[in-house]
Amino acid sequence: MLDRIAQGDLRAFEALYRTYHPRLSRFILNIIRQRSLVEEVLNDTMLVIWNRPGSYNGTSKPSTWIFAIAYRKALKALKRVDEPLEDEQARKRPSAEASPEQQLGERQTQEVLMQAISELSPDHRAVVDLAYFHEAGYREIAEIMNCPVDTVKTRMFHARRHLRGKLAGDLADWL
């Protein structure tokens, strides 16, 4: 059959493909363990057989030669695919996620902070919001609010003073 394929006999190649398709598919799947790549590797294997049937030298059974090609193609496919590696140490490391207690504390802190900010005048709220939540500089805030930079600084000073008075303990420390 390989001699006929070497002569360009498409029917011989189709017969070989139908004969080896199920066996090679299982073999390749067992190596690469990714169903999505099986057909690609199988087709790459068959392409080698079609393009270079003369490379079969007869020292082994044709099936041995075909499976050897499939094996090499499967290994190449594995090298191309980034498979996630299991992190053995993951269970030993502390979680980056906040604990339920931390989440509750953060939510309560945010509620207290937002309540204190809501008591500011609209201009003071805008300055605080732009500076802390949008990371805008004083020049940018002045441009947005269409006022001098010194006015922005004064508004920030008064807003912080008001917030320090409203926020107890640790929250006042970061203002």
Q: What is the pLDDT of residues 43-62, one digit of tens each?
A: 999 999 999 988 888 888 89
Give the up-direction half-sphere exposure of residue 59: CA atoms within 13 A in the CB hemisphere.
2
Count of CB atoms within 10 A of residue 38's CB? 21
Say what the pLDDT of residue 85 is: 60
75 plus 109 within the same structural domain: no
Q: Is 58 helix (H, G, I), strand (E, B) or coil?
A: coil
The DSSP string of 100-163 is HHHHHHHHHHHHHHHHHHHTS-HHHHHHHIIIIIS---HHHHHHHHTS-HHHHHHHHHHHHHHH
69 plus 6 within the same structural domain: yes
134 in a domain, yes or no?
A: yes
Say what the pLDDT of residue 118 is: 86
The model scores a pTM over 0.85: no
What does R_g of the chain's alpha carbons equal in angstroms?
35
68 in a domain, yes or no?
A: yes
Q: What is the pLDDT of residues 116-154, one digit of tens each?
A: 888 988 889 889 888 888 888 999 899 888 999 999 999
72 plus 118 within the same structural domain: no
Number of independent structural domains in the chain: 2
> How far is the C-alpha of 118 from the C-alpha of 110, rounded, in Å?
12
For residue 51, the domain's CATH number is 1.10.1740.10
Q: What is the pLDDT of residues 65-89, one digit of tens each?
A: 999 999 999 989 888 876 566 666 7
111 plus 155 within the same structural domain: yes
CA nearest to 110, candidates 132, 126, 95, 92: 132
Say what the pLDDT of residue 12 is: 93
139 in a domain, yes or no?
A: yes
Write down which residue in 16, 45, 80 finishes a domain.
80
51 plus 8 within the same structural domain: yes
- The boundaries of the domain holding residue 167 are 101-173
